[in-house]
Structure 1
Amino acid sequence: MTVIKQKLTFANQDGITLSGLLESPENPTGYALFAHCFTCGKGLTSASQISRALVEQGIAVLRFDFTGLGGSDGDFANSNFSSNVADLLAAADYLSTNYQPPALLVGHSLGGTAVLVAALRLDYVKCVATIGAPAEPAHVLKQLGGKLDDIRGQGVATVQLAGRPFTIKKQFLDDVEQFQLQGQLRSLNKALLILHSPRDTTVSVDQAERLYTSARHPKSFISLDDADHLLSSKQDARYAANCIASWAERYMPAIVADVLPSEEPAKGEVIVTMREGDFLCDVRSVGHQWLSDEPLSVGGLDKGPTPYDQLLAALGTCTSMTLRMYARRKKLRLSRLVVRLTHSREHLEDCEDCLDGKNLADRIHREILIEGELSPEETERLEQIAELCPVHKTLLNHIDITTHLTKG
């Protein structure tokens, strides 16, 4: 299986550059976003193993370093749980803009708590998986031990975490203590998978119980047996990864792989083939290929113009071609020609051509900007010629559409 790995960067809400790694099969059936644990990074064993397992299931995975960690810019001391959530939202927006909205969020430890908060704000997310996650962000304060008083009293202190020094400011404490996640989980409205080890000494398994009790169905729990908190054993990480991949397949949106027709379109024929998501289409004619889609706001991927965009484009381009052809024949000097079009549907009080009695009429407004050495009579004639373009005539004529359905 070919795995495509792309190192990429994107900016968070503060303009700080974050470092990410996107791993993808050649034709992904969906996208996932992974959040690493507190003070960890995208290179952690659990992150790489989970990404690999999901890619093998056809799901592309973006994992990245939070602000001030790994390859990302920024100062960790100025980050907090809220900024982690904001980084996740920025990563989700990057995927949505450049690829496809992530349907699956996976988070490890505090990253698991962060993906739950992010999922509450992202309607397009369908399922969430957490690994060793605390039920509340404030649980992470236990890792700060005897330094809590120093941080509260002095406003800042250096703390040893996983053998490395980190500067923690009082604003971090204040930030995590403001969240009350458990009370919000009943409105999650996503499939939830909770993975936790009963031997986890960093985040006790009772935290998983609190998450599970707070959430609504569909929800699942998987015990990671004797795994440690970081899933440092590749065997444990791989087991968790395979569980997530198998579980996610049930809840990820139904997507058809990018399989294009082998035959070439005949002259005058257009072939439209379904692609990923609910709306994306591959469109081909002789010698040309393009995409058609719907915007993110209605569940599309926004990877191409909508069908009505293309309808307006057909009329606009035909208008432009017709006017330029006429101007050339009549030796008119056109220096600029711009056609702007909009489409709308209007309810009419009186309509001879109503649709199913609903009194609806389609309206296309066409505005043509012409510049050149033209007399008033020539300008008026060009306006008349615009209404003679073939697509204009087709749209005004009665069109018979025949449909024949075949099963492959």
Structure 2
Amino acid sequence: MNSKTYRESIVFTNSQGERLVGVLHRPAETPKASILYATCFSCDKDIPVAVRLGNALAKAGFAMLRFDLPGLGESEGDFANFSFNSLVDDLVQAAVWMEGVNLAPRALIGHSIGGAAVLATAPLLASVEAVVTLAAPSNLEHLAQLLHNNATRKDDGVVALSIGGREYHFTTRFLEELKQHPSFTESARVLGKPLLVMHAPGDNIVPIEHGISLFEAAGNPRSFICLDGADHLLRRQADVNYTASLIADWVAPYVRTS
């Protein structure tokens, strides 16, 4: 592994004209390949697991981009307008930016709902040759129920949700759309690219059965790794280091040098 890595702040524009801010992790030399990372629901780019994973992958010789969705962190926009389709579109625009700087993503990594999003995004990106999901759901019913149970109803069809100590406002329609979204096992089934599913047996946010469903639906080549002892957010540095080393080794045979 290389000891010296770099981090660079970047800005790109999504389809709505909003400025989205990201951080590009790079090794000192030419990257083995570039990776685009999709973070978890309501998480900004600086959530510890994203930062640590970017650092670890850069040390392993890969470039990785993480970015803030609209209305989160340093990005423009309103997170209340979040939808699964907008998440996919933002990932596509991030990939366009990467391609423009000769770092077209060869692999996608998605955490939680970001894992579901990379399954849907990968077929849209010709450069992508492998996909990794971390604690990804096989459907959004559990998220809809979790949010519904913690929602406070306001006037005019608006609900307030407290997530991570911060209050967000969404429409009641947003919660209904989450319930109605198709199963992501179909996305795994038609992916047509190597897939690595990583999930913690003790995940109490997205149970491991979701990961098993994605793995069972996918075609070969596919791999499943239990992150024993980890939690949903991989809060321990040791869990991130372990995850990053496994991803680096697994991805390497499938990706072309950037």
Q: Would the aligned equivalents of 1:53 and 1:245 in 2 still touch at CA under 8 Å?
A: no
For 1:173 and 1:120, the matched residues in 2 are separated by: 26
Give the AA of the match of 2:99.
Answer: S
CA distance in 1, matches of 2:204, 2:230: 10
Taking the TM superposition and a 5 Å limit, the aligned residue runs for 1:218-367 are 218-253=221-256, 255=257, 276=258
**1:160 corresponds to:** 162
Q: How does 1:165-184 map onto structure 2 within 5 Å?
A: 165-176=167-178, 177-184=180-187
Note the C-alpha offset of 1:179: 3.0
* Residue aligned with 1:193, SS: strand
Q: Which runs of 4+ in 1 moved over 3 A?
A: 147-151
Q: Give the secondary-structure state (helix, strand or coil) at the position aligned to 1:120.
A: helix
1:100 and 2:95 aligned: no
Shift of 1:172: 2.3
1:78 to 81, 94, 111: 81
Q: CA deviation at 1:27?
A: 1.2
Q: Is the 8 A contact 2:202 2:231 kept in 1?
A: yes
Q: Is the 8 A contact 1:105 1:119 kept in 2?
A: yes
1:121 is aligned to 2:121: no
Q: Which of 9, 12, 16 is residue 10 of structure 1 equivalent to?
A: 12
Please say if residues 151 and 160 of structure 2, whose CA atoms lie closer than 8 Å, have aligned partners that are also in contact.
no
Higher relative contact order (CA 8 A, sep 6+): 2
Shift of 1:149: 8.8
Deviation digits for residues 192-220 of structure 1, max 9, x if unmatched?
A: 11111111100001001110111111111
Is contact 2:151-2:161 (8 Å) kept?
A: no
In structure 1, the partner of 2:62 is 59
Give the CA deviation at 1:147: 4.7
- Structure 2 residue aligned with 1:24: 26
Secondary structure of the residue aligned to 2:161 is: strand
User: Is residue 48 from structure 1 mapped to residue 39 from structure 2 by the alignment?
Assistant: no
Aligned partner of 1:217 in structure 2 is 220
Q: Is the 8 A contact 2:9 2:23 kept in 1?
A: yes
Letter in 1 for 2:202: R
- Aligned partner letter, 1:221: F
Checking the alignment, whether the CA contact within 8 Å between 1:108 and 1:130 is kept in structure 2 is yes
Tell me how far 1:45 sits from its aligned partner.
Answer: 1.7
TM-score (norm 1): 0.59
Q: CA deviation at 1:180?
A: 3.2
Q: Computing the radius of gyration over CA atoms, which structure comes out larger, 1 or 2? A: 1
Deviation at 1:143, TM superposition (A): 2.3
Q: CA deviation at 1:154?
A: 5.0
Contact 1:133-1:208 within 8 A present in 2 as well: yes
Which sits farther off after the overlay, 233-242 or 60-69? Answer: 233-242
Query: What is the percent sequence identity of the aligned residues?
Result: 37
Cα distance between partner residues in 1 of 2:247 and 2:40? 17
Structure 1, 1-10 or 124-133: larger mean CA deviation: 1-10
Q: In structure 2, how many angstroms separate the alpha carbons of the residues matched to 1:8 and 1:234?
A: 25
Q: Does 1:146 align with 2:149?
A: yes
TM-score, normalised on structure 2?
A: 0.92
Does the 8 Å contact 2:68/2:75 carry over to 1?
yes
Aligned match of 1:351? none
Helix, strand or coil at the partner of 2:55: helix
Moved more, 162-171 or 34-43: 162-171
Output the amino acid matched with 1:227: A
* Superposition deviation, residue 142 in structure 1: 2.7
**Local SS of the residue matching 2:22:** strand
Q: 1:127 & 1:191 partners in 2: Cα distance?
A: 5
Alpha-carbon distance in 2 for matches of 1:145, 1:226? 29
- Give the aligned CA root-mean-square deviation in angstroms: 1.8
Structure 2 distance, partners of 1:40, 1:149, is: 21
Residue type matched to 1:27 in 2?
A: T
Q: Is the 8 A contact 1:45 1:237 kept in 2?
A: no
Shift of 1:144: 0.8
| Mapped partners of 2:215, 2:102: distance in 1 | 32
Task: Write the deviation string for residues 338-392 of structure 1: whole angstroms up to 9, x where unpaired.
Answer: xxxxxxxxxxxxxxxxxxxxxxxxxxxxxxxxxxxxxxxxxxxxxxxxxxxxxxx
- Structure 1, unmatched stretches of 5+, are 256-275, 277-408
